[in-house]
A and B are shown apart, each in its own frame.
Chain A
């Protein structure tokens, strides 16, 4: 491929305005001495101009308003979900802190100050652990069921 052919390939991109400055300079230098390429570039520029000036189709206002209303509802839902997620995480952290703090308190009440220093599990500890675990499992199951129901409702809506 000689220089003339290479430049000719670049003419479309020059008309599209996407050539690098050094390529553009190369083409412009060539155009000064090549009439056929100059004429060819004019044609490409006219086609590019035609594309730039194509009429802009517009969506119906009814469609735009519906899109606006639906998107606003969805945006509200998304922020409500985020808020709910934040509240749930906060409650979980709070519940865990309360649970962990209540263990030494129970120990204190059942065994006195000295009882807290004695390591190892006692009968009360096993009952307390089982009670805590079952409460957490019940809470988790309820949260999963509620979330599934909420998702089903959203899908139907």
Chain B
């Protein structure tokens, strides 16, 4: 059995046992079209109300996007404390700029663009080398390993989580441009056009980055864990 089959099986196990995949976006987006459209209408209504200065709408949007936005920021900066700080800054920026938001644009893409710009400014200031270099320091816990722990009664679950941690750790080792394109596509489940809007890049560039990122990730996993028995 190839490494990837083992990896995928372990991921299934994690989501099955822990059930902490909370991405409502994917559930509503792919599962039930009626629920998806209902969600879109609610989103548009919240955004319109926020533009009118409604505090409850701000609160609703923050609740809706808190996990996804934090995850994206964590993938970019890799440090939870920095991601939390940027998370707060992003919502302050939303409050400041919401009047300038064009309702014809995709709100998610706009929100993630704000977060990305803040993260890039932060990285330029704090660790300019991290923008185009893979992580050099592999010691210590990975962000994935710092995830909230859940009870997993079976040893299988523990092993599966370990494998997920390794995939997360390998993801962290990629350069920022590759990490972000992977997280936007696979975790945020954004369309290619939305990713291009967030990254402010042409579709062809996004495709190339996506392909290279996947190839690099696979290469890393095969190099770091050669012939390892993942079962």
Contact = CB atoms under 8 A, between A and B. Distances in A.
A50 interface: yes
Contacts of B8: 45-47, 49-50
A50 B59 contact: no
A78 B70 contact: no
Contacts of A75: 50, 53, 55, 58, 95, 98
Contacts of A12: 210-211, 214-215
Contact of A59 (B5, B26, B87, B94): B87
B205 interface: no
B210 A46 contact: no
A15 B143 CA distance: 25
B63 to A, nearest CB: 8
Interface in A2-53: 9, 12-13, 15-16, 18, 42-53
A50 B58 contact: no
B13 to A, nearest CB: 10
A74 B92 CA distance: 7
A74 B167 CA distance: 39
Given A16-B214, A55-B164, A75-B95, A70 B88 contact: yes
Contacts of A76: 53, 55
B231 interface: no
A119 B195 CA distance: 67
A134 interface: no
Interface string A63-107: 110111011101110110010000000000000000000000000
Interface size class, chain A: 35 or more
Contact of A72 (B20, B58, B87, B218): B58
Contacts of A72: 55, 58-59, 95
Given A68-B59, A75-B58, A58 B67 contact: yes
B144 A54 contact: yes
Contact of B7 (A50, A64, A82): A50
A122 interface: no
Given A51-B167, A56-B67, A75-B53, A46 B74 contact: no
Interface in B38-63: 50, 53, 55, 58-59, 62
Contacts of B23: 56
Residue among A49, A57, A60, A78 with the highest chain B CB neighbour number at 10 A? A57
Interface size class, chain B: 35 or more
A48 B143 contact: no
A78 B4 contact: no
Interface stretch (B116-124, B126-134, B182-190): B182-190
A48 B95 contact: no
Contacts of B11: 49-50, 53-54
A66 to B, nearest CB: 6
A154 to B, nearest CB: 12
Interface in B149-208: 161, 164, 167-168, 171, 182, 185-187, 189, 192, 207
B192 A55 contact: no
B59 A47 contact: no
Contacts of A64: 62, 66, 87
Given A71-B62, A75-B50, 6 more contacts: A13-B207, A43-B218, A50-B11, A51-B167, A59-B84, A67-B91
10 contacts: A44-B4, A46-B4, A51-B171, A51-B187, A55-B21, A57-B80, A59-B66, A71-B62, A72-B58, A78-B96
